[in-house]
Amino acid sequence: MTRRTGSKVPSDSSSDQKAVPDQPTFEGLLTFHLARGTRPDRTAKWSKKDFAADVGVSVRSLNLWENGEGPGPGWLPTILRVLFGSNPSLQHFREEMSAAFYRRSQQGDLGLGDDGRRLEGIETIPADPSSVYQFIQRKKLFGTSTQIDLWLYTAETLMPYLRSSLTEASRIADFKCTIRALIKNPQFEADEGTRSSINASIFGLQGLGTALPNLKVSVKLCDETPVLRLLSFRSDASQPVGLLGLYYYEAEPLARGFSRRIIGAENNEMMVCEGRDTFSAKLLARSSSRFELRWSEAPEVNARKAGAKGR
């Protein structure tokens, strides 16, 4: 099999029981095990279609995973189960892939190179909806933005603020704005409460586009749980402004006082990214480029059909 640069994989030797001592990448290990045909009870080469179906994602998402756009943390237990099950002879492979996944999550590479060391000094705000709304109001972003990009697990908690602020902004004579929202596909959400929130977000966003004639709203669904949490505001007259955060995975949410495994606004923060200097511009550009990649791959979905799938 062909190895991508930097994607180290374990050797497929006759013993087939030892993982390499250096640090392989998650995508390299995934590609290796698909080609090797690792399964809990036998070895039989995987087709991408069959593996994606067993995990519960699209082939498009699997291709993204193999090319470095790794899955959200909620997918890891399913991937490990499909590949290794509870077979004790595959435990070393299970541990190796888990370690590679969490190394990748901790690195959080946005292609920033040495500039990544400057993250510690960047301005942050609390990620709760009220704080996000106050920041947007202070910057007067709703009334001046011609394009708003949202990449969120679910936008339900932001909807009341979006609705009231955009309704007010629409009264401005020359108001014209486009919203592109990339939301988690409810079809691939196991938690019923979260699935309901996602559907409410889709219907709410589509409803805004119907209610406000000068507001165009497009909603697309991503199959995997998003890692980036992005709100980007662009206008013709000023530099783009963005809020950027990371979702994180809580293995034991109830023990830590959380209701869900994937944590967004709770005890979390978002970075303020403004294009006034090279670093902020680069950070916002890199995160926006990931949004554009996922947006280009995802089909636009009718809100009512999307909600029906997730029920």
Reported as a single tens digit per residue, the pLDDT across 183-204 is 988 888 777 888 888 899 999 9
* DSSP-assigned beta bridge partners for residue 242: 232, 273
Reported as a single tens digit per residue, the pLDDT across 233-249 is 998 767 889 998 877 66
Residue 277 phi/psi, 5° resolution?
Answer: -140, 170
Give the single-character DSSP code of 114: G
Cα gap 122→124, rounded to integer Å: 6
Is the pTM for the entire model greater than 0.75?
A: no
Q: Write down the architecture of domain 122-309 according to CATH.
A: 2-Layer Sandwich (3.30)
If you average pLDDT over every residue of the chain, what do you get? 77
- Tell me the pairing of strands 228-234 and 241-246: antiparallel
Q: Write down the architecture of domain 26-107 according to CATH.
A: Orthogonal Bundle (1.10)
Cα gap 91→72, rounded to integer Å: 22
Question: Which amino acid is located at 281 in the chain?
Answer: A
* DSSP-assigned beta bridge partners for residue 244: 230, 271
Reported as a single tens digit per residue, the pLDDT across 91-137 is 889 888 888 887 765 555 444 445 545 555 678 888 888 888 888 88
Give the single-character DSSP code of 75: G
| CATH 3.30.870.10 intervals, the chain | 122-309
| Phi-psi sector, 246: left (phi>0), alpha (psi -120 to 50), beta | beta
| CATH 1.10.260 intervals, the chain | 26-107
pLDDT on residue 68: 76
CB proximity list for 53: less than 8 A, separation 6 or greater: none
> CB atoms < 10 A from the CB of 202, how many?
27
Q: Which of 146, 127, 134, 149 is nearest to 245 (CA)?
A: 127
DSSP string, 46-65: PPHHHHHHHHTS-HHHHHHH
Going residue by residue through the chain, which has 311 residues, state the pLDDT in tens, using 9 for 90 and above. 433 334 444 444 444 444 443 578 888 999 999 999 999 998 999 999 999 999 888 888 888 888 877 776 667 888 989 999 988 899 889 888 888 887 765 555 444 445 545 555 678 888 888 888 888 888 888 878 889 999 988 887 788 888 888 888 888 878 889 999 999 888 887 778 888 888 999 999 989 888 988 899 999 998 777 777 899 999 876 788 999 887 766 566 555 555 555 555 556 788 888 865 567 778 888 888 888 988 988 877 764 444 444 33
Q: Which of 154, 48, 108 is nearest to 286 (CA)?
A: 108
pLDDT on residue 99: 82
